[in-house]
Structure 1
Amino acid sequence: MNTGNAADAGTAEAPLKGAVVAVAGAGGPAGRAALMRLAEAGAVVVASDADAARLAEAVDAARYAHGGATVTGDTVDLLDLEATKAWADRIEKEFGRVDGLVHLVGGWRGSTSFTETDLADWDFLEKLLIRTVQHTSMAFHDALLRSGRGRYVLVSQSGAHKPVANNAAYNAGKAAAEAWTLAMADSFRKAGGDDGPGAAAAILVIKALVHDAMRAERPNAKFAGFTDVKDLAEAIAGVWEKSAIDVNGQRLWLTPQP
């Protein structure tokens, strides 16, 4: 299947209509919300997650909510660079282009104090928070440039900017992922030359996420500063509503900046 050239997709009023967007880490609540929003906007959505059952549920939910939307799922080992490149190549070959990669792969490890940090947690988080970003960014970089309106969207966390003692490994991992994404943004800037970047790498910064099931479990909790997964999905879609030059290399704060 080939949906045509990048120029055939989207308008100023509906920038995601016909766009081909990959979502990494799509099986969780944030991924489900992103699939729903992207499908609603008319995008062709190609989702991946390490958990095949969870991925299938998320894909089916998005398809059911938006009949006629093209939403597919691939189980991809994003810790394998060649497998990630092969995923990117398959998407471009099947659909004719890749207009976005939304990176939602995450994980958390904390400690009771700074000195009690278990460095095994760093080994775990380095793979999930940094290595997957390295692999997806390198695998999708050229296709996003070819798109003419490609977007790489990383979801980060405010602790990368104000680290705390019991989250040293997590905060450091998020900071490293941001730095890597900003380096990708600089590559897009340089590739654009005097005309400015044709593709963009942007960072959405949250404190934490909340969804309906969490509210049901803790009805009295205020979740102050948390971002609802539906609002995150809206912000993800919004990255395509702005020009590449306006979002490339930018941190877009969805929670108060520390």
Structure 2
Amino acid sequence: MSKAPLEGAVVAVAGAGGPAGRATLLRLAEAGATVVASDADPARLAEAVDAARYAHGGATVTGDTVDLLDLGAARDWAARTEREFGRIDGLVHLVGGWRGSKTFAETDLADWTLLEKLLIRTVQNTSLAFQEALQRSDRGRYLLISAAGASRPTAGNAAYSAAKAAAEAWTLALADAFRKAGGEDGPRAAAAVLVVKALVHDAMRAERPDAKFAGFTDVADLAAAVAGTWDKPASDVNGQRLWLTEQP
């Protein structure tokens, strides 16, 4: 019987404390991965890690509070993870944030200042910190969760959409690095963008029982899509935008 793609893999999850992070930790642990989670909020992180451990008693799920705005801290996290577990097979980037306005004219550039840090700088730092370890893996994946608004920005979401578009471009540049490193044999690792309209989870449905959430992606479905990227060859995943909602 062949080994499942994530059995024995070591996967880091950045921004693991939110609903999407919780669902992803659960799905990866269920698939047999060792999961190394980080978040800027230690309380939320501890709750997410405990939930994954409780749901999957045999799983190794650890948590580390890491300042991903600090490249040195991100590099230390990657080095510590590889040293402790012997390998790194994935980085799932879930660090998020949103700011917007009613109209384009009302855009507050302070929103850009914040979103540039949350949505771009954290991607830069995690990709630079984890690239080499992912290339050493036989199944490395760098996965960015992005939004459809990056491809079709709306007037009130200029800062958010521009930041997401920049993060996508950065991730696809990493994909090109993986392609070049693989040479004629094709990439050993893959970087890809999973695109959603927005995310929904049970607490949101409970708060708004009459809402339709049309086109939204449930966090459990996102987690399944994340895990599913290990079911395909790196060459089929690398450099791709994987749409989980209708493509504009």
TM-score (norm 2): 0.99
Q: 1:145 aligns with which of 118, 130, 135?
A: 135
SS at match of 2:228: helix
CA RMSD of aligned residues (A): 0.8
- Judging changes above 3 Å, is the alpha-carbon distance between structure 1 residues 132 and 220 closer, same or farther for their aligned structure 2 residues? same
Q: 1:80 aligns with which of 61, 70, 74?
A: 70
Q: Are 2:246 and 1:256 aligned?
A: yes
Q: Are 2:193 and 1:203 aligned?
A: yes
Name 1:3's counterpart in structure 2. Answer: none
Q: Are 2:76 and 1:90 aligned?
A: no
Map of 1:133-212 to 2, 5 A cutoff? 133-212=123-202
Distance 2:34 2:239 in 1: 25
- C-alpha deviation, 1:12, in angstroms: 5.6
Name 2:39's counterpart in structure 1. Answer: 49
SS at match of 1:148: coil
Name 2:117's counterpart in structure 1. Answer: 127
Map of 1:210-229 to 2, 5 A cutoff? 210-229=200-219
Q: Percent identity among equivalent residues? A: 79
Unpaired stretches in structure 1, ≥5 consecutive residues = 1-10
Name 2:30's counterpart in structure 1. Answer: 40
Name 1:240's counterpart in structure 2. Answer: 230
Q: Write out per-residue CA displacement over residues 131-178 of structure 1, whole angstroms, 9 at most, x where no aligned residue.
A: 000000000000000012100000000000001100000000000000
Q: How many residues align?
A: 248
- Is the CA contact (8 Å cut-off) linking 1:49 and 1:76 kept in structure 2? yes
Runs of 4+ in structure 1 over 2 Å off: none
Unpaired stretches in structure 2, ≥5 consecutive residues = none
- C-alpha deviation, 1:68, in angstroms: 1.1
- Is the CA contact (8 Å cut-off) linking 1:12 and 1:241 kept in structure 2? no
SS at match of 1:55: helix
Q: What is the letter of the counterpart of residue 14 of structure 1?
A: A
SS at match of 1:21: strand
- C-alpha deviation, 1:18, in angstroms: 0.6
Q: Write out per-residue CA displacement over residues 206-232 of structure 1, whole angstroms, 9 at most, x where no aligned residue.
A: 000000000001000000000000000
Distance 2:34 2:55 in 1: 14
